[in-house]
Structure 1
Amino acid sequence: MANILIAGGGIGGLAAALGIAGRGHRVTVLERRDSFTELGAGIQLGPNAFHALDLLGVGSPVRARAVYIDELRFMDGTTGERVASMPLTGDYRTRFGNPYAVVQRSDLYEPLLESCRAHPLIELRGNSQVVSYERGAQGSAEVTAVLATGERLTGAALIGADGIRSAVRRQMVGDGDPRVSGHTIYRSVIPMDQVAEELRWNTVTLWAGPKWHFVHYPIGGGAYLNLAATRDDDAQEVVVGRPAEREHVLNEFPELGETARRLLELGRDWKSWVLCDRDPVDVWTDGRVALLGDAAHPMLQYAAQGACQALEDAVVIAQLLDDRSEDDIVQRLEKYSATRRERTAEIQLVAREMGRRLYHPAGPDAVERNAMLSGLSTEDMHDKVAWLHGERLA
């Protein structure tokens, strides 16, 4: 039985802890904040996420909190035209073996947290920010996590699940600050009873316009509507959760058509973020240290796969640490990296392209995009997402 250290108590860190402890190892999760909480609004979960959650043993409680979406709907945000819709019931669920759903971030996080708290092999430690690590001497079976307090904790492996600004990645990869995308996203969550009956769609709806797009979908068991409006404004400053005046948000989307405008005007208490990601890298391991989730492959939201890929990471790394032995941990972590790098790198790059080619084109490029999407059959659309949504880990 090895003692595995995990830096970061977010979705990826808790999922990894649950998976690894399920293989018989002791796990210590080191979280920088005082308490284990997860901020944020809505998350989209594809069938691949539910498959991973089932393997981690928390599929049922997440399903109980989820809203099962009927379709992904792509709209022209200026004309109001419905360009394309991808059904997510019937043939979709049969083909991919699980539903497509949306949840509040806490509806995914809390079942993971509750399961970790109940597991006898998992210790959750707050106020324990990992700032660096120390490899043991050559041939050593240990690695040391150095905390901001100066405390040192030793284990058989360290998993860096400490997010897009990961201290573990900074030491391992040394690739500086995250890449600023130049896109600002404004988010608001409103009670569903404030939404007109005819606009309470059980869909993830995206309105695309010139250098902007607007997404909305129900969360909280249908009690709330999640609003997220993104502007390609060449922003260069990193912004995280800054309050935004309602009038400012409305003024950022003057071309928005009538129906989408009605929904945007419902938003209150807006907050803004400037979206960031990183370039894919080949180095995810350093001896007994490995990266996971946003520390390994931070991606823009446009493919709706960030949380899904962290869950896949957690399943794979747990499967490779598949017994209580401490032997060959370095090789097992290297195999994890080799197994996951290509898929996540492709998703990182596809997410960037989706923002440029699908969501934000203008003029003739938008006309061409609409023609391409409207020409796809339901089967065509399911084929296009099969590589993302159809991943089923053994």
Structure 2
Amino acid sequence: MSTSDTILISGGGLGGLTTAIALSRQGRSVHVLEQAHEISAIGYGIQLGPNVFNVFDRLGVGDAVRAIADFPDSVVMTDADSGETLIDIPVTTPDYKQRFRNPYVVVHRADIHNVLLDECLKAPGVEITVNACVTSHEDLGDRVRVTCADGRTFEGAALIAADGLKSRIRDALVNDKLHPIGYVAHRTIVDMKDIPADFPHKKDVVLWGGPGYHVVHYPLRHGTLFNIVAVFKDPAPNHGDQYVTHEEDVQHVYANAHPALKSILALMDLERRWVIADRNPVRQWNRGRVVLLGDAAHPVLQSYAQGAGMAIEDAGCITNLLEQYDYERAFAEFSKRRAMRTARMQLECRDVWKFYHEEGIERDVRNMRLEGRTSEDSYKCLDWIWNGGTNPVVSGAAA
């Protein structure tokens, strides 16, 4: 294909690479522009719900993802102070499998990134250019031109912006602002052998919900590693994403935490932190031959662990539509079909975020409301997520 037939994708993350694979399966030419000096991923864990396998299996990469994944028995919510189990959602039982068909997995982000990158490198028609930070674009009517920070330009038939939460292309299309929520995340991976043998639920996905903080942990790389994410109200909001020492800042936050949780927090690296933010939902994230995808279009908080899930669904949906329509119509239809599902995810993630961090009597009421909750109750609440999407599969792909 000529350059004029090539689709540009800005961003080589999970959403961008999945989209590149899906478009290649249709016989399209794709050029991925990644701002980093190499295509790589932050070396921490990620959760993937059963909804992503609708896309992965149709692309022929589902088995490769399963091979590098861990399969927790349950997704658990625990009161961070008392240690009481509030919610226990089995994700390997016959009832779960009958209802959701696909697995709930946790993977090392670098491992799944490598699966998708390897597939891109093998796929015909996929080109990847690194050190290509797209800073602006022009829709020329019959093609799109992008300009990178170093002055290079690239042209293609259309532009799919999968450039994340701080998308520069979104700035031009939507012109809104980031919405910091006043929390920061700290991430650590340790050897499983460093976790006490009697530590509760160390083979599950566990969220400890505390007053103004939460901690999530789960195994990685077939139980050899232990991934920990600790989220606190921002103790030093003027620091931003910097290497600063926060041990003393956050110790008072979890002073009353359960001893088992304190033993995990003692293993944390609290120097590197990530400021947590999202954006308000919008109905439209396309203009002409340009469209946003994933976090660039609809960034979500981590409440449901569905940021990657929404981007992967997007990849399948947009590829389906490009089989049916020209670029402008397909991109407009993509915004229309995905807007309500992703907006619901954004807004419900905000609500659930508050639910995780309740304090005082609100925390007591939350715990009381969860008494007697069954796995079936949880399945009903999650059905719209795990069985949802707008037919996010690629009709021309290998089964």
**Contact 1:182-1:235 within 8 A present in 2 as well:** no
Query: 1:73 aligns to what?
Result: 76
Query: 2:361 aligns to what?
Result: 364
Give the superposed CA RMSD.
Answer: 1.8
Query: 1:331 aligns to what?
Result: 329
Alignment of 1:14-93 (within 5 A): 14-90=17-93, 91-93=95-97
Percent identity, please.
38
Q: Does 1:299 align with 2:304?
A: no
**Per-residue CA distance 1:271-326 (angstroms, 9 max, x = gap):** 21110111111221010000001110111111100011110011111111227xxx
Query: 2:104 aligns to what?
Result: 100
The 1-side partners of 2:101 and 2:245 are apart by 40
Query: 2:388 aligns to what?
Result: 391
- State TM-score, norm by structure 2: 0.92
Larger mean CA deviation between 33-42 and 263-272 belongs to 263-272
**Contact 1:244-1:270 within 8 A present in 2 as well:** yes
The 2-side partners of 1:141 and 1:297 are apart by 27
Q: Does 1:134 align with 2:138?
A: yes
**Contact 1:185-1:275 within 8 A present in 2 as well:** yes
Q: 1:240 to 1:220 in 2, by over 3 A?
A: farther
The 2-side partners of 1:269 and 1:383 are apart by 37
Compute the displacement of 1:330 (Å).
0.5
The 1-side partners of 2:387 and 2:357 are apart by 27
**Contact 2:162-2:294 within 8 A present in 1 as well:** yes
Compute the displacement of 1:245 (Å).
5.0
The 1-side partners of 2:288 and 2:254 are apart by 49
Other structure's SS at 1:376 match: coil
Query: 2:397 aligns to what?
Result: none
**Per-residue CA distance 1:116-172 (angstroms, 9 max, x = gap):** 011121000011111111111xxx321111122222221111001111111111111
Return the letter of the residue paired with 1:366.
Answer: R
Other structure's SS at 1:322 match: helix
Q: Which runs of 5+ in 1 are unaligned?
A: none
Larger mean CA deviation between 230-239 and 50-59 belongs to 230-239
Return the letter of the residue paired with 1:116.
Answer: C
**Contact 1:30-1:124 within 8 A present in 2 as well:** yes
Compute the displacement of 1:27 (Å).
0.1
Return the letter of the residue paired with 1:197.
Answer: A
Q: 1:65 to 1:213 in 2, by over 3 A?
A: same
**Per-residue CA distance 1:314-371 (angstroms, 9 max, x = gap):** 1111111227xxx621001111111111111110111111111x21111221111112
**Contact 2:212-2:253 within 8 A present in 1 as well:** no
How many residue pairs match? The answer is 386
Compute the displacement of 1:28 (Å).
0.2
Query: 1:167 aligns to what?
Result: 168
Q: Which runs of 5+ in 2 are unaligned?
A: 394-399
Larger mean CA deviation between 328-337 and 231-240 belongs to 231-240
**Per-residue CA distance 1:200-256 (angstroms, 9 max, x = gap):** 621111111111111111112211111111112476447336354555554442121
